[in-house]
Amino acid sequence: DAGVTQSPTHLIKTRGQHVTLRCSPISGHKSVSWYQQVLGQGPQFIFQYYEKEERGRGNFPDRFSARQFPNYSSELNVNALLLGDSALYLCASSLTAHPQETQYFGPGTRLLVL
């Protein structure tokens, strides 16, 4: 079975641009979460979606937004990119939003902002 997939794998943008990152969860999983991992740090929570509704939001500016589609895939959008947005963006999926379930992570999208 395919795991969590993310696209693109790498991306280079310039300051002020907009970026869209995509995630497909494991088949049958209805919850998707997004994390940002800056070099040398642990991942930080950005958003969780379940059944197309936002279930949680981390401490990130309004430049970050996300949505989940009827097929449970998800997009993360970042506007007005800053140099500090350079990071590995990770998507995780789980069957439901129940806190006792394991989250399975994808390979990530590495974003470089110049």
Partner 1 sequence: KQEVTQIPAALSVPEGENLVLNCSFTDSAIYNLQWFRQDPGKGLTSLLLIQSSQREQTSGRLNASLDKSSGRSTLYIAASQPGDSATYLCAVRGNYGGSQGNLIFGKGTKLSVKP
By the rule CB under 8 A, 86 interacts with partner 1: no
Q: Which of 48, 68, 74, 93 binds partner 1 (CB under 8 A)?
A: 48
CA–CA separation, 2 and 83 (whole Å): 33
Residues in contact with 6: Cβ distance below 8 Å, sequence separation at least 6, in sequence order: 21, 22, 23, 24, 89, 90, 91, 106, 107, 108, 109
- Using the minimum distance from each CB to partner 1, give the nearer residue, 19 or 90: 90
The binding site for partner 1 (CB under 8 A) comprises 4, 31, 33, 35, 40-45, 48, 50, 55-59, 88, 90, 92, 97-100, 102-108, 110
